[in-house]
Amino acid sequence: KPSHIEHIGIAVKSLDEAIPFYEKVFGLACYAVEEVAEQKVKTAFFKVGQTKIELLESTDPEGPVGKFIEKKGEGVHHIAFAVNDLAQKLTAVQEAGVRVIDKTPRKGAEGLNIGFLHPKSTFGVLTELCEDPSK
Ligand code: CMX
């Protein structure tokens, strides 16, 4: 089973506006800003205990976050669970009949190996499984 919630992804229109909000209102420090070109997003990370908040700004209106904001507006975009043996977990969920976006692991932000499950198969919540290859 997952060990913890690795991060919560929140779609925002502007990192420049959202980062100071998290810093000022919650006193959290943004410790990394990273562009994930393949996902057409720029990300900003905050730590809250073992869990992170990942702010997502789209770099392309046709990308996943661009389309999400256009359709639903800003808000919670996905929840990511930390797992071991990601490849095996992705196989197991497919065998259990869950529709996946990634059949096998790929690289995500912060050097993590990731795989997404389709929101139509997970009660409307885009769900990510991630594994830290350094652990
Ligand atoms: N949460 C819940 N539902 C979502 C969703 C989300 N984040 N994104 C899309 N949907 C829903 C849509 O509302 C739509 O539902 P309806 O058919 O009922 O209207 C349905 O899924 C299809 O949405 P779409 O706008 O037509 O978009 P696509 O099918 O082209 O893509 C998805 C949807 C989830 C497959 C795509 O966004 C994806 O592959 N996501 C995974 C990758 C990703 O999100 N990357 C960004 C983060 C990267 C990072 O964290 O580093």
CATH code, domain with 110 = 3.10.180.10
Whether ipTM > 0.85 holds is yes
Asked if residue 135 has pLDDT above 90, the reply is no
Query: CB neighbours (10 Å) of residue 61?
Result: 11
Give the tens place of pLDDT for each residue, 89-99: 999 999 999 99
Mean pLDDT value of segment 99-121: 95
The residue whose C-alpha atom lies closest to atom 37 belonging to ligand 1 is 64
Instruction: Give the distance (Å) from ligand 1 centre to CA of residue 70.
Output: 11
- Residue 22 sits in which domain range? 4-131
Binding site membership of 74 for ligand 1 (Cβ less than 6 Å): no
Taking 3-state DSSP, the helix, strand and coil percentages for the chain, each rounded to the nearest 5, stand at 30, 40, 30
| pLDDT mean across residues, the chain | 97
The residue whose C-alpha atom lies closest to atom 43 belonging to ligand 1 is 64
CA–CA separation, 64 vs 73, rounded Å?
13
Residues in Cβ contact with 47 at an 8 Å cutoff, skipping those fewer than 6 apart: 28, 29, 31
Mean pLDDT value of segment 80-97: 97
Which amino acid appears at position 10 of this protein?
I
Mean pLDDT value of segment 36-47: 95
Specify the pTM: 0.97
| pLDDT for 71 | 97
Q: What's the domain count of the chain?
A: 1
